[in-house]
């Protein structure tokens, strides 16, 4: 088993162990959702509040193991395996970090969750940008539109632009710490714009390629 694989699996197991350790010390209902103002507006029963994220991590880890095996273009995934592994590690670290913040809050420590999330989210977006630059055409990872999946040329051009946009998006998210009152909009609005731009761009490149 690869070292990166072991590290990711270790984080998944650690989240389960952490949940078991803290379970008896937490209230019967756990805060599980916060609005744009940083106020709690949703709760979960203790069991799900403690273990839903470790369960998600277990499922996610299974996808991480099996996706390269079942993708019809699995050779392409192997071509950027290193970047793929680093991205998965970054994503698992991000989810583990959010899990830790949620547990910390439910122990009675009140803080602005958004301010703590923004830098981590920004770093994750930057890792997405790095992955997109290296990603090869496949059915599971990357910007998968009908047009990128139909052509290596369209895939590469779209992902080159996507890499730049997601890195820029990551920088904006990190800067959101400076203006926390606009943090939510500095993430959601740019994400929507970036997604729309990339979908439209992939279609335009596809049509241009067809005219050659």
Q: What is the pTM of this model?
A: 0.84
Rounded Cα distance, 114 and 180, in Å: 7
Closest CA to 207 of 153, 161, 164: 153
Which stretch of DSSP H or E encloses residue 60?
Answer: helix 46-70
Cα–Cα distance, 97 to 118 (Å, whole number): 12
Spatial distance between the Cα atoms of 60 and 91, rounded to a whole number of angstroms: 10
Question: How far, in Å, CA of 113 to CA of 110, rounded?
Answer: 8
pLDDT tens, the chain, 212 aa long: 578 889 999 999 999 999 999 999 999 999 888 776 667 888 899 999 999 999 999 999 998 888 888 888 888 888 888 888 888 888 999 999 999 999 998 998 877 777 788 889 999 999 899 889 889 999 988 999 999 999 999 999 999 999 999 999 999 888 877 776 666 777 888 899 999 999 999 999 999 876 66
Instruction: Looking at 72-212, list the stretches that DSSP marks H as alpha helix, in order from N- to C-terminal side.
Output: 74-79, 81-106, 113-134, 152-175, 183-210
Tokens 């799900």, residue? 48
């Amino acid at each position: 088993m690869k070292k990166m694989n072991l590290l990711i699996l270790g984080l998944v197991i650690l989240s389960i162990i952490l949940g078991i350790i803290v379970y008896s010390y937490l209230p019967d209902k756990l805060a599980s959702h916060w609005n744009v103002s940083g106020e709690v507006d949703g709760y979960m029963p203790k069991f799900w509040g403690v273990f839903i994220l470790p369960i998600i991590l277990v499922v996610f880890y299974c996808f991480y193991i099996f996706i390269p095996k079942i993708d019809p273009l699995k050779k392409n995934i192997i071509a950027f395996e290193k970047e793929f592994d680093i991205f998965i590690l970054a994503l698992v670290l991000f989810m583990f970090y959010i899990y830790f913040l949620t547990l910390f809050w439910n122990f009675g420590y009140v803080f602005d969750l958004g301010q703590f999330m923004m830098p981590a989210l920004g770093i994750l977006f930057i890792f997405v940008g790095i992955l997109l630059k290296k990603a090869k055409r496949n059915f599971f990872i990357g910007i998968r539109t009908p047009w990128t999946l139909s052509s290596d040329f369209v895939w590469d051009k779209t992902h080159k632009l996507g890499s730049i946009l997601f890195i820029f998006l990551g920088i904006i998210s990190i800067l959101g710490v400076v203006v926390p009152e606009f943090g939510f909009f500095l993430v959601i609005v740019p994400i929507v714009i970036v997604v729309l731009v990339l979908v439209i761009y992939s279609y335009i490149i596809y049509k241009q390629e067809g005219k050659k």
